[in-house]
Amino acid sequence: MKVIVQFSGGKDSHACLIWAVNKYGKKNVRAVFCDTYWDSPFTYKHIQDTCKLLDVELKTISSSKYDSFTDMAIKKGRMPSALMRFCTTELKVNPFVDYLLSEVRESVLIIQGIRALESKKRSEMPKSCTYFKYYFESYRTDKRGSKVYFNYRKKEVANWLEFYDDSLFRPVFDWSGQDVIDYIISHGHKPNVLYYLGFKRVGCFPCVMSSMTELRELITRFPERIKLINDFEDKTGQTFFSYDYIPAKYRTGVKINKSGKEVKISTSRDIFKYVKEKYVVNTLFDDADTPSCSSFFHLCE
């Protein structure tokens, strides 16, 4: 049996990787990273450094359908959102299924860094189950009341399961975010450096659902990323963030809704301008320099 840790470079999967090595031994553990080609250079380096430090095998996989996060958005004609988070399915879930079906020929124990406190939806997940559970058990009902199942390569999944086991465990399910950070540090590791710089999300850089606080740090510390997003919008005509990310009076973009009416939408330039000016007002008497540590997890103490 191979122990496979789904490693994103974030704190939860980092703690899970350490936990798995301690429990099962490094020779039995493999870290699998799903590359969306939209991560920070810090995250890519953190993943490599962590696996080297633990001396575990690292397997990097990616979508066979899309070349990158931005390629996916272009081909779908829209960005993912809070209500339509197809990015996770297309760039992480499906590639991982492809990997299991095409490259894994033994039973596995899959380790996931999911915590109950992250959201109500996650709190309803079991701490342990099987990876392909929702191929055969409904995970929700649609508007018509019909049961919904996962069906990506379902026949091949069923065939794979005739030979192999797909156990899944979430070691940090009951932990707080601070518990996770403390566990990482207690084992002589450092969390992803982005946590020191004020980011809560490190999976995509940035996530379309980033907070204004995170965008402030992005503007201050990573202006090249701002340009990348602006250039993407100029090239595609799509908005990167939610159309209503900022109040309507600050939006300059326009789209025609289904009723044929013009609606103001938030362009990335609108949002970055709004965030920058908002924090200039709110921090008028603060030091001008960016603080060396903006961590949410007391990493400088």
pLDDT tens for 59-112 read 999 999 999 999 999 999 999 988 888 999 999 999 999 999 999 999 999 999
pLDDT at 275 over 50: yes
* Three-class DSSP category at 51: helix
pLDDT digits (tens, 9 = 90+) for 221-250: 999 999 999 999 999 999 999 999 999 999
Distance of CA 255 to the CA centre of its chain: 28
What pLDDT score does 198 carry?
87
Residue 3: HSE in the Cβ half-sphere, 13 Å Cα cutoff: 20
Q: Please report, for residues 183, 208, 250, 277, 286, the alpha-carbon distance to residue 274 in angstroms, rounded to integers and kept in the order given.
A: 37, 16, 7, 5, 19
What pLDDT score does 121 carry?
86
pLDDT digits (tens, 9 = 90+) for 166-194: 999 999 999 999 999 999 999 999 999 99
pLDDT digits (tens, 9 = 90+) for 147-166: 999 999 999 999 999 999 99
pLDDT at 132 over 70: yes
Break the chain into its structural domains and give their ranges. 2-186, 210-282
* Three-class DSSP category at 257: coil
What pLDDT score does 284 carry?
42
How high is the mean pLDDT of the chain?
92
Query: Which class is domain 2-186?
Result: alpha beta
Q: Phi/psi at 139 (nearest 5 deg)? A: -105, -10
287 band by pLDDT with thresholds 50, 70 and 90: very low
